[in-house]
């Protein structure tokens, strides 16, 4: 309700939204938005560049997940994906739905116990979960390229949902400490345990909603493969 609030910096937000909507290259959109925002907020170009460089240096660690790639690259050259697919096809009763729901549950529980590093896109999704899901799906029938793409995206989404809606239940997790610290600054004392406990209802909802979506996804794959095998030519497959 402060009349002195400056709205100019919102131009940067608009810039980002437009840039992503127009599908310009994200790296350029982000950097130019940073420069624009800083300049309309009344900073000099050099000051904005300094701010950028400082944050870039501080957040370098975000790129360290790339260190997992030599292991994955080498193992994939020696048949990791092929073996993951053969392994899951050999398990009795393995289906895409069961695999992904089991992964979701394990990821949520592990994250809730503070074991957030026990999974992740380069660590488990690319080398293990995605090939296993593809192997399990191919028990029903060969996947089309489009189905394979959707299945992989679902694997990545399942890892994210499991992580996000598990980690907040762990009391020593950064988010819980951030909330406690914020309220402490405002003179309100909160117990980390109370914050963590109120993460549980949402975590249960997340598990139910995402599991239902996995099952529906599996049903759709099944339906598509039945249509593909009963109708000729296969290109006549209707898409809902």
Partner 1 sequence: MITLQWIYWLAGGYFSWISWRGLRDTRNPRRFTTALFWGLLALAFLIGERLPALWMGVLAVALAAIAGFGGLRSGCYEQSGIEEKRAEATRLGSRLFWPALLIPLVTMVLAVVLKDLEFAGMRLLGAEQPTIVALGVACAVAVAAACWLTRQSLGSAVEQSRRLLDAIGWAALLPLLLAALGSVFAASGVGTAVADLVTRAIPVDNRLAVVLAYALGMAGFTMIMGNAFAAFPVMTAGIGLPLLVTLHGADAASMAAIGMLSGYCGTLMTPMAANFNIVPAALLELRDPNAVIRAQIGTALPLLACNVALMYFIIFR
Q: Per rule CB under 8 A, is residue 114 in the interface with partner 1?
A: yes
Q: Does the footprint of partner 1 cover residue 230 (CB under 8 A)?
A: no
Binding segment toward partner 1, per CB under 8 A, in 48-56, 95-103, 135-143, 227-235: 48-56
Q: Give the residue from 163, 52, 175, 60 showing the smallest Cα distance to 105.
A: 163
Minimum CB separation of residue 236 from partner 1 in Å reads: 23
Q: Is 78 among the residues that bind partner 1 (CB under 8 A)? A: yes
Q: Is residue 142 near partner 1 by the rule CB under 8 A?
A: no
Decide if residue 18 touches partner 1 (CB under 8 A): no
CB of 190 to partner 1, least distance (A): 5
User: Residue 52, interface with partner 1 (CB under 8 A)?
Assistant: yes
Work out whether 102 is an interface residue with partner 1 (CB under 8 A).
no
Whose CA is closest to 225, among 140, 135, 130, 100? 140
Using CB under 8 A as the binding rule, whether residue 177 contacts partner 1 is answered as no
């Amino acid at each position: 309700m402060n009349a002195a609030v400056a709205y100019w910096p919102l131009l940067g937000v608009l810039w980002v939204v437009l840039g992503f909507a127009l599908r310009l290259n994200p790296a350029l959109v982000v950097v130019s938005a940073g420069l624009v925002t800083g300049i309309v907020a009344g900073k000099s170009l050099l000051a904005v560049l300094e701010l950028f460089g400082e944050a870039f240096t501080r957040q370098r660690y975000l790129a360290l997940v790339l260190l997992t790639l030599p292991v994955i690259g080498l193992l994939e050259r020696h048949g990791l994906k092929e073996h993951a697919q053969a392994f899951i096809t050999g398990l009795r009763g393995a289906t895409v739905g069961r695999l992904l729901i089991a992964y979701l549950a394990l990821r949520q529980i592990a994250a809730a116990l503070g074991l957030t590093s026990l999974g992740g896109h380069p660590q488990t999704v690319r080398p293990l979960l995605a090939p296993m899901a593809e192997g399990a799906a191919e028990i029903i029938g060969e996947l089309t390229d489009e189905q394979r793409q959707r299945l992989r995206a679902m694997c990545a989404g399942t890892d994210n949902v499991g992580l996000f809606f598990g980690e907040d239940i762990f009391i020593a997790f950064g988010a819980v400490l951030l909330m406690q610290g914020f309220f402490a600054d405002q003179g309100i004392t909160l117990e980390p345990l109370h914050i963590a406990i109120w993460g549980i209802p949402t975590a249960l909802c997340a598990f139910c909603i995402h599991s239902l979506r996995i099952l529906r996804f599996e049903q759709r794959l099944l339906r598509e493969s039945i249509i593909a095998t009963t109708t000729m030519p296969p290109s006549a497959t209707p898409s809902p």
